Amino acid sequence: MARFAAFLVMLIPGLMAAGGIKLMRDTLFGILISPIPFLWLQFVLGVVFFVIGFGFFAGFLLHRDRKKGKVAPRFSKK
């Protein structure tokens, strides 16, 4: 059950990061998604979604590896 809960916790940021990549890709090809009025705003939202999703995912993995003692000394908490 704990693994399933961890999977659900990681699914949401993963989908957010994937959506951010899609928004950035659509901007580069000049495809405007309807609720967003400007291409530059669509690209900025894509970058924000990607950074938040990827950052959460990376932080989760770093926290897990710190608990197990599998990180390099420079990443361990003092």
pLDDT in 10s for each residue of the chain, 78 residues: 889 988 888 999 999 999 999 999 999 999 999 999 999 999 999 999 999 999 999 999 999 999 999 999 998 887
Q: What is the pLDDT of residue 28?
A: 97
Cβ-based neighbours of 11, under 8 Å, separated by 6 or more: none
CB 28, CB 67: distance < 8 Å:
no
Q: What is the pLDDT of residue 53?
A: 96
* Longest CA pairwise span in the chain (Å): 48
Q: What is the pLDDT of residue 33?
A: 95
Of all helices (H) and strands (E), which one includes residue 47? helix 39-68
Q: Judging by beta carbons within 10 Å of its beta carbon (0-12, 13-18, 19+), is residue 46 exposed, middle or buried?
A: buried
Say what the pTM is.
0.86
Task: Quote the DSSP letter at residue 33.
Answer: P
